[in-house]
Structure 1
Amino acid sequence: MRRILGLSVFLFMLSLSACALFPHRDPLNINVVGIEPLPNQGLEVRFAVKLRVQNPNETAIDYNGMALDLEVNGRTLATGVSDQAGSIPRFSEAILSIPVSISAFSVLRQTLGLSQTQGLDNLPYVLKGKLAGGVFGTMRFVDRGTLDLPGSAATW
């Protein structure tokens, strides 16, 4: 019984010290800085989303893949992945480009999801993504806001 108690205490202390070995990282600052058209395929539209990624940490962020999801009005509109690899130095920033696809069915779902009284202004969006960096190095990010499309307040 004493051995089990001693082993339990030892494992608990070991787990506490293991947590201290992983450095604390501040969240990345992500901003969409551009959208460029890419060649389309059939019933989809493709864009290259350019993200400014700022690293406010004391260590570099190494990544070997990216993923991005854009939800508008509570529904997925665009998704994209890239196997691009690189590093963002400490207290620095980089522009990353991720190709995303918007299918005709996503556009149809978005259109059917709008009520007749709801315009294209103030549509809520959620941009979710990650920079893959191995088991403990993956950095996830989320940006939320509303889309305000100029000239979308059409009068009938």
Structure 2
Amino acid sequence: MQKPQPPQLSIAGISLVGGNLFEQQFILKLRVQNPNDFDLQLSGLHYKLELGGQEFVTGQSNQSVTVKRLGSDVLEVEAYIKLFELIKQAKAMAVNGKVPYRLTGEALVGESGWRLPFDRKGEYDLAPLERLKGFQMLPGS
């Protein structure tokens, strides 16, 4: 088998699913596109997501997914961020409705051990996270 081209990953969605005083839990929906003319079996990935030029979350997943040749699929991964960092970033990003993002990392391919790097830049609409704007940790903050 020839060495595959790296998959193309982009943000398909971000959902706040829980949290407590110390950290918030998100589900990142990552669209995985396979540019190869054969099915691509991913056995996991390492990723880093930057929003507005600042690191938002890093993580890894051991989920397996087979992306059909020249096709795409959506992979959901958990992400955690400390509440203080979330508030700080939400305030900085709340100025306009969209924020630039950069998604980087490595996709792990099947049992071959190949690590395929990916790097994607784009914009994400913050409308689903709008409710964070009204949250204030301290008066006047």
Same fold (TM over 0.5): yes
Tell me the amino acid that sits aligned with residue 129 of structure 1: G
CA distance in 2, matches of 1:145, 1:80: 19
Change (3 A) 1:103 1:120: farther
Q: Percent identity?
A: 27
Match of 1:104 in 2: 83
| Pair 1:124 & 2:100 matched | yes
TM-score (norm. length: structure 1): 0.63
1:52 to 28, 31, 35: 31
2:22 to 38, 43, 48: 43
- Are residues 54 and 39 of structure 1, via their aligned partners in 2, closer, same or farther at CA, if it must alter by over 3 Å? same
**Which structure is richer in relative contact order (CA contacts within 8 A, separation 6 or more)?**
2
* Secondary structure of residue in 1 paired with 2:77: strand
- Answer yes or no: is the 8 Å Cα contact 1:31–1:51 preserved in 2: yes
Label 1:54 to 1:119 Cα distance change in 2 as closer, same or farther (>3 A): same
Is the 1:38–1:47 Cα contact (8 Å) retained in structure 2?
yes
Aligned partner (choices 142, 147, 151) of residue 119 of structure 2: 142
Match of residue 43 from structure 2: 64
Of Structure 1 and Structure 2, the greater strand share is in: 2
Q: Which runs of 5+ in 2 are unaligned?
A: 131-141
The residue number in structure 1 matching 2:55 is 76
- Measure, in 1, the Cα distance between the counterparts of 2:76 and 2:123: 22
User: Structure 1: where are the runs of 5+ without partners?
Assistant: 1-21
Which structure has more helix as a fraction of its residues?
A: 1
* Equivalent residue, structure 1, for 2:7: 28
CA contact (8 A) 1:67 1:80 kept: yes
Q: Is the 8 A contact 1:66 1:98 kept in 2?
A: no
